Amino acid sequence: MKEKELIQIIKSTLNSNYIGDDCAYLKDLGIVVTQDSLVEDVHFKMDYMTPYQLGYKSVMVNISDICASGAEPKYITISLSLPKHVDEDFVKNFYEGAKDACGEVKIVGGDLTGSDKIFVSVTAIGSTKSRKISSRSNAKKGYKVIVSGEHGNSAKGLQLLLSGKTEPAKFINAHLMPIAQREFSEKIASNADYDYAMMDTSDGLGDALMQIAKASGVTISIDTSKIPHDSSVDMERVLYGGEDYQLVAVVPDSGDFTCIGEVTSGKTGIIIDGIFYSNIDDKLYKHFEENK
């Protein structure tokens, strides 16, 4: 079974309103919370990644989820499961990386257990104080689509790593050491007086736009020539590569941000350079299949 079908089963079993956005917004406590796991040989391989980078990225991707909600990232807990052959240096370097990803965020707990493969599960908590929280169902006709940073660099970095290369550093770092877009998030969410949708591009820019279009019941139309990207990265990776941890927001006014499109009338889905897609499931990136 595919993940999306299993998530439907979870939703119907729990009959929960909370499952849907990357973060759960717990209004009564004034917080958002998110939890994501990284599994060795599913999400990463240690033959191209140091323990420091693993700790760093595990934390950063969860901080990115908090940023996507518009909340202020505050606290992290880390559950780490390690095979017996893993030593003291691994743990020390992993936590050095985790700490360096945090910035002002504090690591406040978690646990450590044994396992066959390395397994990292990180929970991040953000404060909603003075922030307007995003929902992917908030896109409205006439809203503009804005993005942070360059797209596709992480997928290119992974391609290089899987073929044994360790440079150019720009792409390698985009994959191994992504940077959550805290400032972009803060600018959008601080004291915003409108509803807006925001997601990170963990599963790709195209996927994020499709998720927002579906949750909001709108058409989102974009012009790929406006998407910031390195000229050496092909458009498939720019749109569907994922793991860039850039932010894409759908807001009433694009202001000074990079605008790549807008919400139009029509069927639920996305329009890319004039071509309509009601789903892009066949385009989603497969981590370890492409280069085998």
Tell me: does residue 26 bind a copy of itself (CB under 8 A): yes
DSSP β-ladder status, 275-277 and 247-251 = unpaired
Tell me: does residue 34 bind a copy of itself (CB under 8 A): yes
CB 52 within 8 A of CB 89: no
Tell me: does residue 39 bind a copy of itself (CB under 8 A): yes
Query: 111 or 273, CB closer to a copy of itself?
Result: 111
The span of 5-13, 178-186, 189-197, 234-242 binding a copy of itself (CB under 8 A) equals: 5-13
SS3 of 122, please?
Answer: strand
Tell me: does residue 52 bind a copy of itself (CB under 8 A): no
Is cis: bond before 168, omega within 30 of 0? yes
Query: 13 or 191, CB closer to a copy of itself?
Result: 13
Query: 18 or 276, CB closer to a copy of itself?
Result: 18
Residues 6+ apart with CB under 8 A from 170: 153, 230
**What's the distance, CA 187 to chain centroid?**
18
CB 219 within 8 A of CB 270: yes
Tell me: does residue 290 bind a copy of itself (CB under 8 A): no
Residue written as token pair 């917080």: 31
- The interface with a copy of itself within residues 92-131 (CB under 8 A) comprises 92, 95-96, 99, 106-117, 119, 121, 123, 125, 127
Q: 71, 78, 250, 260: which one contacts a copy of itself (CB under 8 A)?
A: 78
Q: State the Cα–Cα distance between residues 64 and 47, nearest whole angstrom.
A: 25
Query: 26 or 169, CB closer to a copy of itself?
Result: 26
Q: Which amino acid is at 173?
A: N
Query: 78 or 270, CB closer to a copy of itself?
Result: 78
